[in-house]
Chains A and B, each alone.
Chain A
Amino acid sequence: MTQEQTDLTIANPKMSARDVKVFYGPKQAIKGVSIDVDMDHVTAFIGPSGCGKSTFLRTLNRMNDTVASARVEGEITLDGENIYAPTMDVVQLRARVGMVFQKPNPFPKSIYENIAYGPRIHGLAAGKADMDVIVEKSLRRAGLWDEVKDRLNDSGTALSGGQQQRLCIGRAIAVEPEVILMDEPCSALDPIATAKIEELIHELRGRYGIVIVTHNMQQAARVSQRTAFFHLGELVEYGVTSDIFTNPRQERTKDYITGRYG
């Protein structure tokens, strides 16, 4: 492993991956990645297309389970508990480790229902009043409340792209997750909507562990405190974001972030 020497191991990590390997059939997509995620630092995964950053992100809430040929080796723990253990409830896991995708994908339902859906199936609300509180709180945390409070019954798909993405973040927040995984959450958004999501990430830090995959290196530099550079399935370098962008240790990291890759 060519990971750099700076020890960023966290004493009591929220999530911890150790020597994780992912195979799609005979092809190895991830080659032994170890990394910790905590609540205090936003972690950004960067790297060229096909480097494995999204694949690795998806191992953190077992989204790869849906790919028949995918096989995961190594250990990933959430609060010390192996998430690949047979006893792990995957539905519960994905509530605790939520995900936001590249394209906003609200349900074709009302704004209210988009948020209420998760808490309802997880039995988090005792009644209508309780649910109202959860919906307001989630939309507030997602920075969307003021824009939608007067039209909660409008369809979620009628919102702008940026609003839809914040609705999806609110939907993830509604089930009280501990970690939120974001897979290029701004790549379909304009710069203003992007700035709002980035500001939201800042506000959510500390309350949730946040991992973001991004193709936009400036975005990684702006929103994260830890950056991991993936290349050809390896974690080439993992470090403090300000170090990675001013003084990367690995030649491959340097070539990538300075625009000399390939």
Chain B
Amino acid sequence: MAEHTIKAFDEEIDRLRGLIAEMGGRAEAAIENAMLALQRQDKVLAAQVVADDKRIDAIEAEVEKLVIQVIALRAPMANDLRDVIAALKIVSVVERIGDYAKNIAKRVPLIATNTRTLEPISLLPSMGQVAGEMVHDALNAFAARDADLALAVVKRDQVVDDFYNSVFRTLVTFMVENPKTISECAHLLFIAKNIERIGDHATNVAEMVYYAATGQTLPERERGADLQPED
């Protein structure tokens, strides 16, 4: 894309993109580390995820400030306007994604040490990986103004939803057969739900990216038959 006549405007837009890229990278790492901590029962790593979330929150505040400054001083138009508004909305969603990862990490110490007795736990890392990739791709799509990649993220949400439904059934069955594990399984259920929400939020980001890149809004998605109502 051609550069602005006013160079400082380009510098501010670049800084905005840089901050969002960093924020996305941190959210993605938070999801990955939270899932790793869960698998390995690594309480230190889990605590680290919780601590690192502060930086994600700080970036959100920084982006908000910068967007207000750009709107006030540069009066952005057309694709520039769509970009900065998308940036503003995306950071609030990524901040939520960070919170979900933090919530997963906080549950790690509450689950009994011997995870080998909890078979359903094996399903969660793959689910978490798909959700993490969606976050990664949605933010890459923003950086590259790539509407096709954004669309691919939106389509992929169904995979996470299917995972969730499968985990839900497995956990319910497992709890019926192993009533002693109900407490741990309830935590796993919340973790699965958190991952499912991360997928939804990544989809929202992708929809904003699509609008920013094309100026067109995506039609409302058709929802699969979920076991759980939307919360």
- A247 proximal to B (CB < 8 A): yes
Chain A 240-262 against B: per-residue CB contact (8 Å), 1 yes, 0 no? 00000111100001110111111
- CB distance A258 to B75 under 8 Å? no
Q: Contact partner of A257 among B1, B9, B77, B82, CB < 8 A?
A: B77
- B80 proximal to A (CB < 8 A): yes
**Contacts A218-B75, A255-B2, A260-B3; is A246 near B81 (CB within 8 Å)?**
yes
Chain B 1-42 against A: per-residue CB contact (8 Å), 1 yes, 0 no? 111111001000000000000000000000000000000000
| Complex CA–CA separation, A10 to B18 (angstroms) | 46
Nearest A-chain residue to B211, judged by Cβ? A247
A242–chain B nearest beta-carbon distance, Å = 11
Nearest B-chain residue to A221, judged by Cβ? B77
Q: Chain B interface residue count: which class? A: 10 to 19
- CB distance A247 to B3 under 8 Å? no
Q: Is the interface of A mostly helix, strand, loop or mixed?
A: helix
- A20 proximal to B (CB < 8 A): no
The size of the chain A interface, using a CB distance under 8 A, is 16
- A90 proximal to B (CB < 8 A): no
- CB distance A258 to B82 under 8 Å? no
A179–chain B nearest beta-carbon distance, Å = 28
With a cutoff of 8 Å between Cβ atoms, the chain A residues found around residue B9 in the complex are: 259
Q: Is the interface of B mostly helix, strand, loop or mixed?
A: loop
Q: Contact partner of A246 among B5, B75, B215, CB < 8 A?
A: B215
With a cutoff of 8 Å between Cβ atoms, the chain B residues found around residue A260 in the complex are: 1-5
B126–chain A nearest beta-carbon distance, Å = 39
| Complex CA–CA separation, A221 to B75 (angstroms) | 11
Nearest A-chain residue to B3, judged by Cβ? A260
- B79 proximal to A (CB < 8 A): yes
Chain A 10-33 against B: per-residue CB contact (8 Å), 1 yes, 0 no? 000000000000000000000000
With a cutoff of 8 Å between Cβ atoms, the chain A residues found around residue B2 in the complex are: 255, 260
11 new A-B contacts at CB < 8 Å, known A247-B78, A260-B1, A261-B5: A217-B77, A245-B78, A245-B81, A246-B77, A246-B82, A247-B82, A247-B216, A254-B78, A257-B78, A258-B4, A260-B5
Could you list which residues of chain B lie within 8 angstroms of chain A, going by C-beta atoms? 1-6, 9, 75-82, 215-216
User: Can you list 27 A-B pairs with a CB-CB distance of less than 8 A?
Assistant: A218-B75, A221-B77, A245-B77, A245-B81, A246-B78, A246-B81, A246-B82, A247-B78, A247-B82, A247-B215, A247-B216, A248-B78, A253-B78, A254-B78, A257-B77, A258-B76, A258-B77, A258-B79, A258-B80, A259-B4, A259-B5, A259-B9, A259-B77, A260-B2, A260-B5, A261-B5, A262-B5
4 A-B pairs closest in CB distance: A247-B215, A260-B2, A257-B77, A258-B80
